[in-house]
C-alpha cells in the first residue's frame, strides 16, 4: 500500500520542493493551505501538468480543531498519514523593543503550536502501525539566534525540544522524529530580502558563498522519510552551507 505524506505549507518554495521529492519517491502527497488561499486550484493544475497529482486541504495549522479536521479528512480520502513534515511557518521580524504581543503570538502559533496540532492527530496511528516519520523543519536561527527574530528563533528552537522529547517516547514503536535546520535557502521568503542585504550581510556569512537550494533540503527530507533512516531519531540536522556548525 502506498504510504501517505502530509507536508504543511507545501504550496511554493521549500514545501513544494518537499512535495515533489516525496512524490518522486512513490508517496501519495497531501499538503495544507491557509483558508482563503485563492491560488490552490491553479497550483494543483500546474503540478498536475508537471506530473504530480497532489492533494490540498484547507487548514489553519495554528488551530487544533482545524488540524484535527484536516487530518481526519486526509485519512478518510487518502489513508492514514505515514510521514508528517511540519514545514508551515511565518515571520514577523522586528526588534524585541518594537515587538508586540500580536506579532509574538502569530509566530509562536503558526511555527510552534502547529507542530503539536498536526502531530497529535497522526502520532498514535503511526505507533499502532509500527512505522512513521515526523520531520520538523526548523531553522539555523533557532540554533544561533538572529537579530530581530526573538519570536521566530524561540519557535524554531522549541521545535527541536519537541523533537527530542517525542523521539524518546516513540523510539520503540518504529517511529522516528527529527529536526532539519536549514540556513538561508533561495525561497520566496528569503528572496524578499533586499538584494543589497543578501549580498552584504547574509551571503558573506555562508562559507559556501551561496544560498541553499530547496531541492537540497528536500533531498534530506526524503532520506529521513526512508526506511534507510530507521536508526536516526531525535537529531537536529543542519543544512546551512557551513554558516553555523555545532
d(CA 118, CA 137) in angstroms, rounded, equals 13
> Mapping DSSP to helix (H, G, I), strand (E, B) and coil, where does residue 37 land?
coil
Q: How many CB atoms lie within 10 A of CB 101?
A: 7
152 in active site: yes
45-89 pLDDT, tens digit each: 999 999 999 999 999 999 999 999 999 999 999 999 999 999 999
**Degrees to nearest 5, angle at CA 110 with 8 and 30:** 10
* pLDDT for position 12: 83
Q: In this structure, what DSSP letter does residue 71 have?
A: H
C-alpha to C-alpha distances, 159 to 4, 29, 41, 134, nearest whole angstrom: 23, 23, 31, 12
Q: With a threshold of 0.75, does the pTM exceed it?
A: yes
- Between the two ends of the chain, the Cα-to-Cα distance in Å is 39
Mean pLDDT across 9-29: 96
142-168 pLDDT, tens digit each: 898 889 999 999 999 999 999 999 999
And the C-alpha cell for 14? 521549500
Mean pLDDT across 126-134: 98
d(CA 223, CA 229) in angstroms, rounded, equals 6
Tell me the CATH number of domain 4-239, given options 3.40.50.720, 3.40.50.1000, 3.30.390.50, 3.40.50.300.
Answer: 3.40.50.720
d(CA 29, CA 23) in angstroms, rounded, equals 6
The residue from 27, 33, 152, 184 that is catalytic is: 152
d(CA 1, CA 97) in angstroms, rounded, equals 53
Amino acid at each position: 500500500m502506498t504510504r501517505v505524506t502530509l507536508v504543511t505549507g507545501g504550496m511554493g518554495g521549500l514545501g513544494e520542493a518537499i512535495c515533489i521529492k516525496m512524490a518522486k519517491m512513490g508517496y501519495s502527497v497531501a499538503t495544507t493551505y491557509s483558508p482563503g488561499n485563492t491560488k490552490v486550484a491553479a497550483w494543483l493544475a500546474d503540478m498536475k501538468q508537471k506530473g504530480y497529482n497532489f492533494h490540498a486541504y484547507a487548514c489553519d495549522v495554528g488551530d487544533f480543531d482545524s488540524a484535527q479536521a484536516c487530518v481526519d479528512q486526509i485519512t478518510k480520502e487518502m489513508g492514514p498519514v505515514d510521514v508528517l513534515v511540519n514545514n508551515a511557518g511565518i515571520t514577523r521580524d522586528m526588534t524585541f523593543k518594537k515587538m508586540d504581543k500580536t506579532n509574538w503570538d502569530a509566530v509562536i502559533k503558526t511555527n510552534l503550536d502547529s507542530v503539536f496540532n498536526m502531530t497529535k492527530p497522526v502520532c498514535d496511528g503511526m505507533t499502532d502501525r509500527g512505522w512513521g516519520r515526523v520531520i520538523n523543519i526548523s531553522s539555523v536561527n533557532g540554533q544561533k539566534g538572529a537579530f530581530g527574530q526573538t519570536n521566530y528563533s524561540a519557535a524554531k528552537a522549541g521545535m527541536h525540544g519537541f523533537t527530542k522529547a517525542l523521539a524518546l517516547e516513540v523510539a520503540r514503536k518504529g517511529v522516528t522524529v527529527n529536526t532539519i535546520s536549514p540556513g538561508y535557502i533561495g525561497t520566496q521568503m528569503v528572496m524578499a530580502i533586499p538584494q543589497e542585504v543578501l549580498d552584504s550581510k547574509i551571503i558573506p556569512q555562508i562559507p559556501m558563498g551561496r544560498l541553499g537550494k530547496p531541492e537540497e533540503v528536500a533531498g534530506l527530507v526524503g532520506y529521513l522519510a526512508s526506511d534507510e533512516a530507521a536508526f536516526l531519531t531525535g537529531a537536529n540536522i543542519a543544512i546551512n552551507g557551513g554558516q553555523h556548525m555545532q
